[in-house]
Amino acid sequence: MRLKVFKRAAAVLVLVPALNGTPVMAQRTVTTPQRFNYFGEFFFPELPPIPPLPPLPPMPELEVFRFAFPQALRSGESTDPEVRFQQEVFRTLLRNNADRGIEIAAERLKADPDDQIVLGNLTSIANSGSPKSMALLLSVAKTSTNANARRTATVLIARSKGDKEAVTATILDILATNRDDESQQAALSALSELDSPRAVKMLSDIVRNKDRSIAARRSALGVVSRSGGSLATLEELYNGVTDSSELRRSILASISRSSDSRAVSILAKIAKSDADETMRRAAIQHLGTRKEAEAVKALEDLLKK
C-alpha cells in the first residue's frame, strides 16, 4: 500500500471491507488550513497605534550652587580683597624674615586680638621655622577671643616637630586653661595624635573629674581608648566613675572592644556582681559579642546562679 502526499491536499487511503470480504481502497481528500500571520503557536493581533505623548512641562529654573570651603579649612583666608592682599604681604614678610614677622604679629594682636591678617596666617607662622612661633601660637590658643583661632593654634602646636613631652605639656596647659567646649575638643583631639603616657594619665584624670562636662569626659575617654590605654586603666576608670551611668556604659563599651582576652573576665565580673542592674545587662550583651570560649563559659556560669 502506498500513500501519496500532495502539496495542497493529502490523499488518505482507507481500507474499506467489501461485501465479499475483499478490501477496497477508498480515498478521502483533506484540505490544508489557510495560512495565518502568526509567530510560533501564539497569535499576535495588530495593536492600535500609540497616541503621541503630551509635551513635557518646562524645566524649573535651578539655583546655581557654588560650594565653598568653610573659613577654617581655607586657613582663615578673608573674603575682603584688601584683607587678602594684606595677608599675602604678611606671608611674604614671614618668608623673608620669620622672626621680624612674628614680632609684628605679636604687636598687631596686642592692638587687636581678632586681627585677621595674623589669625589668617597661623599655619604660615607655625611653618616659619622661627623659635618664636610656638610662644605666639600658645598665646593665641590660650587667650584669643576667636574660637576658630584657638582651635587652629592648638592643633598646630600638637603637629609641631618639637619634643613630644614638651608639646604634650603645652597641650595639657591649654586644656587646663580653657574650659569652653571648642577649645577642649581641639586639645583632646591634639592629645590623641601625640600618644604620650603623660597624656593618658592626664586624660584619665579628666574622665574621673566630676567638675568637667560629660561631653569633655567622654571625649577624654575616647582619646584614652584610641591612644592605647591599657585594660587595667579602663577597669580602673570604670570602678572610679560613680556619678554617671552614661559614662560607665561608654567605659564598658571600650573594655568590650579591647583585643586583650582578659576583657572577658572583667565583663563577667561586672555582669555577676555590679550593683547597677543596667550595667550587668550591658556587660552580658558585650559578652555576647566576644568570640572566646571563655565568654561562652561565663554566660553558662551566669545561668547557674
pLDDT tens for residues 288-305?
A: 999 889 989 989 988 886
Computed over every residue of the chain, the mean pLDDT equals: 78
Domain segments of the chain: what residues? 230-305
Closest CA to 120 of 153, 155, 157, 159: 153
State the pLDDT confidence band at 49, using cuts at 50, 70 and 90: confident
Contact 122, 76 (CB under 8 A): yes
Residue 40 clears pLDDT 80, i.e. is over it: no
Q: Cβ distance 104 to 110 under 8 Å?
A: no
Cα dihedral 32→33→34→38 (10° resolution): -120
Look at residue 267 in the predicted model and tell me its pLDDT: 93
Q: 3-class DSSP state for residue 164? A: helix
> Is pTM beyond 0.95 here?
no
Q: What distance in Å separates the CA atoms of residue 132 and residue 121, rounded to the nearest whole number?
A: 15
* Per-residue pLDDT tens digits for 76-87: 566 788 989 999
Concatenate the DSSP letters of all residues of 98-125 into one string.
HHHHHHHHHHHHHH-TT-HHHHTTHHHH
Q: Is the pLDDT of residue 9 over 70?
A: no
Asked if residue 214 has pLDDT above 90, the reply is no
pLDDT of residue 69: 39
| Range among 78-87, 100-109, 207-216 rated most confident | 100-109
Q: Is the pLDDT of residue 27 over 70?
A: no
Q: Lowest mean pLDDT: which of 24-38, 168-182, 221-235? A: 24-38
Q: Which helix (H) or strand (E) holds 263?
A: helix 263-273
**Do the Cβ atoms of 122 and 140 come closer than 8 Å?**
yes
Question: How buried is residue 167: exposed, middle or buried, by Cβ count under 10 Å (0-12/13-18/19+)?
Answer: buried
* Run of H or E residues at 81: helix 81-96
Please give the backbone phi and psi of residue 195, each rounded to the nearest 5 degrees, phi first. Answer: 55, 60
Mean pLDDT of 88-114: 93
- How far apart, in whole angstroms, are the C-alpha atoms of residue 240 and residue 267? 16
Residue 102: per-residue pLDDT: 94
- Which pLDDT score, from 0 to 100, does residue 85 have? 92
The three three-digit cell numbers of residue 50, written as one number = 500609540
